[in-house]
Structure 1
């Protein structure tokens, strides 16, 4: 039997990027959550996946959503990550918001965004795995360092000597 605390520590050894995923709830109100479970699946067709905890404040909204957007955060957006990590209904207050595919809310200050149609939902134990078909994307003009999560906290990219980036 694997102890949950040890499993969590082992999972934490894998550094991940940080994203904010947005959608609309069944009433048409915007919802959003910080997620580090984002991953690419396929180039043809263009598919991505992420997972949400069944205990999440906005779980029902994401489980039912036909569209979602994944916003890839850069190192300067830690405050935005913290904002969407809290269980709250006013996460979008005072933010510049656009509309994407399926009227999904788009965070205008985030440079890389994947607009997706929900293609598949899979049981993932205490999480729901959502696979999205990428319908549209926004790319930055130039790249910034990513916001990373490692060992239960934010981390920074450190360039190694002799490595070309």
Structure 2
């Protein structure tokens, strides 16, 4: 048996997916040639397994960083707080140099950029375990080697925009 042909277009599909609220994260690694820090904003993060500890995220096939992340030995995933909308936007545009020019970061023991711990909701250091090409994205599976978390509220992405009030009533509430 095979899959049926979709009865919707890409716009309608994106709108339907947007009804599932997700967290927002920044993934970092280094350029293997220059050792410069690299990073990008994602909203496609999920747990896979507790034992071993695995997480996944996905990256568009058209990303200029795809080849680097496919070959990277390690990367770090930083779950952003509700106060970090501007940081999420900065890491989704501009040059790599601009993205790291005015943020507080260090390098972990493997030389991978790590945002300051005080400013993230959670943090995962990952070994790049496997990747799968599916459709217009690559699914990246990371084996978590280190993690930490804070009590900060996470930044939420919903219906194509950031939602700074994850505990607020529904936007369509007409009371």
What is the TM-score with the length of structure 1 in the denominator? 0.90
- Displacement of 1:44 after TM fit? 0.5
Contact 2:126/2:142 (8 A) holds in 1: yes
* Structure 2 counterpart of 1:138, from 143, 148, 160: 148
Give runs of aligned pairs for residues 43-82 of structure 1, distance below 5 A: 43-82=50-89
Report SS of the residue matched to 2:84.
helix
**Cα distance change, pair 101–4 in 1 and its aligned pair in 2 (3 A):** farther
Cα deviations across residues 71-123 of structure 1 (Å, max 9, x unaligned)?
00110111110110114221111222111253210011324210000001101
Contact 1:114/1:138 (8 A) holds in 2: yes
C-alpha separation between the residues in 2 aligned to 1:25 and 1:128? 19
Counterpart in the other structure of 2:124? 114
Counterpart in the other structure of 1:149? 157
Report SS of the residue matched to 1:102.
coil
Counterpart in the other structure of 2:42? 35
Between 1:38-47 and 1:53-62, the stretch displaced more is: 53-62
> Once superposed, which parts of structure 1, at least 4 consecutive aligned residues long, lie more than 6 Å away?
none
Counterpart in the other structure of 2:3? none
- Displacement of 1:10 after TM fit? 0.9
C-alpha separation between the residues in 1 aligned to 2:160 and 2:102? 28
Report SS of the residue matched to 1:106.
strand
> Which runs of 5 or more structure 2 residues have no equivalent in the other structure?
1-5, 170-175
C-alpha separation between the residues in 2 aligned to 1:9 and 1:158? 22
Report SS of the residue matched to 2:83.
helix
> Which runs of 5 or more structure 1 residues have no equivalent in the other structure?
161-165
